[in-house]
Structure formats: structure tokens, C-alpha cells
Amino acid sequence: MRILRLDSSKADYELQKIGVCPAGVRVMKKKYEVIPIKIFKVPVTEANIIKQEMLSIGGDSAQASGAINHSVNYTDIILLGTMAQYEKFIYKLTEQNFDFLKRLSSKLKDILNNKEDIFLIGNDEYTLEKKYIMGIINVTPDSFYRGSRKSQYEVIEESLKMQELGADFIDIGAESTRPGALKIDEREEIERLKKIIPELVSKIKIPISIDTYKSSVAEFCLDNGVKIVNDISGMEFDNKMVDIVKKYAATVVLMHIKGTPRNMQDDPYYIDVIKEVYDSLEKKRDNALEHGIDNKRLILDTGIGFGKRLEDNYVLIARHREFLSLGCPLLLGISRKSLIGKVLDNKPEERLNGTSVLNTLGLVKGATILRVHDVKEACECVKLYNEFEKGVEYGLY
């Protein structure tokens, strides 16, 4: 005998191999994996009811020791149950007279089913079953990695090269957002893009993304055929951005940042980095939805290196999959960043191997899109990851 180390999404093969019928596979998958769910600040009366109800269906709920005797008023809880148990639990909560528990029932139902199968860029659909590469090109004199800086005459050639190497998207930036970078005027940013974007759109087949947080810059680019806005502020630095994105039915990358590029690395601090980044991205996502932007046009980015300590960056990568609960594809941008250099004591020009290692780990942890300087090597990461997934799925290795 052996212990199987497969999550429920990979359980089909082993169940089918022992002769379970298709209907049985569907039922058994729901019982296959315990899914821990953390809920914050639950009133202790409701917390004790939750624990009783979870125990009654074979699950459990962990809570503060003071909850049982009401020596505390609130407690965070961690639910431990399978999909089959959660389905029963959600129904049980709807029968309760407490408003908190009824709201919790609805929220649990949403979070357990909150996963799109596709996302949209322009009129094209992209499946979340695949992984994608976004190549980085900067028309700036001061981006942190020299290899990404291109003159307006080099951008077309570099973009065509990235497309040929396998990039799915090209991300163009005309203002550096490295730590300590100073803001440039929107007119200067547009001026840098005027002689690039129209020609680039006409010459490459893959979608182009504009890396900007200024609505006027985004509008210029979208008006000239760009399909994606990559906004480091998640549409918070410029309140007109949300209207521009909606107007052009653009896809938008909503990133977490603490502070601004100029001050974001001035002693950033988090009590609970996962919760704080998650709550921030949830707020940005909900703001987009409330303004009529299609959920299928939202991509989320935890903002590695943007107002984060070294340990924060690695925690966010290690627990990246948790952000899939927000129901959007995840973009991961770690290419040649200082979280590699601080560990390996090397310069951006020497961080390709470290980038490939972290990109691969990011794919395993749920990243959908890798934003990279080195397209060839990133595509190799994706190819090897895909083969690894086949091994997990079919028991080849």
C-alpha cells in the first residue's frame, strides 16, 4: 500500500484505474481532499455553532481556545472539510437563524465555485488550463534591468523576436516603476509611445499590453490597438482609469502595491502579508466589477517586489495558489528582481537561472501568466511544467 499525494483535481486517474464508474468518480472526487478555509473575526456564538455543524458532517473547525467559554468575543476559525462536506455544511447554514451564518453560507458557496474557465483579451478566449508568457520591453532610460531597455527603433525587432520564441503577450512600459523611481509627466510617457505603439500593433499578431497607471496613457494606447492595461496600482492611482478600461473593453491587470514606486521600499511592513494582499486585491477586483468591467477581463498580480520585504515575496510565491480563490487568472512578475539577488548575491544580469527556478515554482503554485525578460527560458519552464503535470495526472513518474 501507499499514501496517494494527489489533490482532487488529479484524482480521476487513480479512481478510474481501479474501475470506479464515471458517476462514482464525480462523487468520490468531492471526498478526496480536505480544503482548509480561514474565516476572520467570527462572533464566538456563531463560531461554536459552526464547529458543531462541521463535526456533525465529519469535518471540523479550529478556533481560539477562549471561544468555548466565551472568554473572547471573536475568533478567527479554520474550517477543515472536503467538497462533499462543504456542500452539506452550506445547506445547514441556510437553516440557521443567525444573519452572520446565512451570509457565511453565501460567501462559502461563492469562494468554492469562484473559478472562471477562460479569460478574455479582445475577442479571443484564453483557457486557464494553459500557462502563458508575457514578454517585457521598456522604452525607458532607467529600468532596473539594462537588457529590457530598448530604443524606439529596437522595440519592433525585439517584439517580433519574442513572438517567434513563443511569447503570448508583449508588455510595453514607458515609465520605470523600479524602487525609488520618479514619476514622469504623462505627456512625456505618451511621447515615448507615439512612434512605437501604432507600428507595433500593425506588425505583431499577439496582444500588446501597456504598463501604465495613467488613464490618458492607457487611452492613447487602447485607441491605437493595445488590448491590455497592466496597472501597478490596480486602478487606484488614477480614478479615471476604470472608465477608460470599461470604455475599450480592455483586459486589465490589477496589481498590489504598498505605497508608490518612489517610496514603496521605505521599510514596508505587514502583520499578515497574505491577508493584506488578498484583501487589497479583492477590493480592487470588486471595484472593477462594480464599474461594469467583465470578470473575464480581470487578471490579478500580487506585486512581487512592490512594497514587500524579502520574506514577504517568498511567502506570496509559496502560497500563490490561495489567490485563485478570487476567481481570476494570476500574473507572476519575478523576472531578475532583487528577491533573487538578495539570496544569491548577484546582479540583475546574473539572475536568469534564479528567475527560471522561481518561475517554475510559481507555475506549480498556480500562476497563469509569467511576466518575463527572457522569453525563451520562460517558455522552457512552461514546457517542462506541462510535462510534469502530465506525469502527475497520468502516473507516468
pLDDT tens digits for 27-70? Answer: 888 888 899 999 999 999 999 999 999 999 999 999 999 999 99
Q: How confident is the model at residue 396, as a pLDDT? A: 44
Burial of 363 (0-12, 13-18, 19+ CB in 10 A): buried
371 in catalytic set: yes
Query: Structural domain boundaries of the chain?
Result: 34-112, 118-394
pLDDT per residue over 335-359, tens digit each?
999 999 999 999 999 999 999 999 9
Cβ atoms < 10 Å from Cβ of 339? 23
The model's pLDDT over 186-229, given as tens digits with 9 standing for 90+, comes to 999 999 899 899 999 999 999 999 999 999 999 999 999 999 99
The Cα-based distances of 385 to 7, 30, 49, 67, 356 in angstroms read 17, 26, 43, 44, 11
- Asked whether 323 and 302 are in contact (CB, 8 A), the reply is yes
Can you list the positions of beta strands (E) in the chain?
A: 35-43, 60-63, 74-81, 118-121, 124-127, 132-138, 169-173, 208-211, 228-231, 251-255, 298-301, 330-332, 369-372
Catalytic residue among 10, 29, 351, 371: 371
Catalytic residue check, 336: no
- Number of alpha carbons in the 13 Å side-chain half-sphere of residue 386: 11
119-147 tens-digit pLDDT: 999 999 999 989 999 999 988 775 655 55
- Fold of domain 34-112: Ribosomal Protein S8; Chain: A, domain 1 (3.30.1370)
How many whole angstroms separate alpha carbon 173 and alpha carbon 148?
10
Which pLDDT belongs to residue 205? 96
What's the fold here for domain 118-394?
TIM Barrel (3.20.20)
Which pLDDT belongs to residue 395? 55
For 255-294, write each residue's pLDDT tens digit: 999 988 888 888 899 999 999 999 999 999 999 999 999 9
What is the pLDDT at residue 357?
98
Catalytic residue among 51, 284, 337, 365: 337
